[in-house]
Amino acid sequence: MKKTPREMGTAELVYGVHPVRELLAQKKRRVYDIFTLSDDPKSWAEIQPLLPKYPYSIHRLARQALSERIGTTDHQGIAALAEPFSYRKKFFDVSRDQFLVMLDGIQDARNLGAIIRSAYCTGADGVILVQKQGVALNSAAIKASAGLAERMSIYQVTTPSVALMDLKHAGYNIYVAALSENANAFTVEYKKPMCLVIGSEGLGVSYQSLKAGTVVTLPQKSPDVSYNASVAAGIIMSIVSNSFTE
């Protein structure tokens, strides 16, 4: 009999009220265990109606024991053990997925989650996650996304070169968030279908990405300081989203 991810030790932890609620509501991956407090947390009223009909286990623990069990105090009294995250299997369809965001080497899990959250809120149709030099979409990232990673269509690739090749082959216009004196994100004409490339917190986008499309830059007061990566990404995605006319 085929072993489950839990039996193989590959099941993933999801914690926090919003992430667990989205995990259960979206029903994209099987849940094996629910961890909560001995006395029902306030959030239990939101979680209980979403619990699956198939067999699973509920573990009730004291707060300290729960924190020790899942390795963080940032759980808000609820966590779950589930199948690995469900990534998109096929590349995006240019006729339907008109606005993509490519994350090229984001290294902080909270920034990764925050950018995915902003991508969903600004109407992006999907996210391309580059593995090379980037952080994995782990439980901390899913928590930072407020669970919206469960709603987003996310495609994972090994390197930026692979992603850029797929984008160009499909016919996407590519816009690259990077510093430039001659590129103002507010004045660029964004054309669908398009992909906005966001780079890492320290080094920015990869060399391959920088040469692949139109550079867009957020104006800033001083050249010796810069926006947080997730804040900059959110602002540019909002600019892009609001520039589209139906």
Which tops the pLDDT comparison, 8 or 15?
15
CA distance 21 to 18: 5
pLDDT score recorded for residue 2: 64
CA 56 to the chain's CA centroid: 26
Least confident interval from 91-105, 124-138, 216-230 = 216-230
Residue 103 main-chain phi, psi, to 5 deg: -105, 105
Report the candidate in 54, 5, 156, 39 with the shortest Cα–Cα distance to residue 14.
5
CATH of span 5-82:
3.30.1330.30
Report the candidate in 119, 85, 122 with the shortest Cα–Cα distance to residue 102.
119
Count of C-beta atoms within a 10 Å radius of residue 107: 14
Count of C-beta atoms within a 10 Å radius of residue 235: 17
**The pLDDT of residue 179 is above 90:** no
Classify burial at 242, counting beta carbons within 10 Å of its beta carbon; exposed 0-12, middle 13-18, buried 19 or more: exposed
pLDDT score recorded for residue 1: 61
Residue 14 main-chain phi, psi, to 5 deg: -125, 130
| Secondary structure (3-state) at 180 | coil
CA distance 127 to 102: 6
pLDDT score recorded for residue 228: 80
Q: How confident is the model at residue 53 (pLDDT cuts 50, 70, 90)?
A: very high
What residue has token string 């030099």?
133
Buried residues in 64-92 as b, exposed as e (16+ CB within 10 A): eebbeebebeebbbbbbbbbebeebeebb
Domain ranges of the chain: 5-82, 99-243
Strands 78-82 and 31-37: antiparallel
**CATH 3.40.1280.10 fits domain 99-243:** yes
**The pLDDT of residue 192 is above 90:** yes
CA-based angle 91:153:142, to the nearest 5? 135
Q: How confident is the model at residue 139 (pLDDT cuts 50, 70, 90)?
A: very high
What residue has token string 């509920």?
58
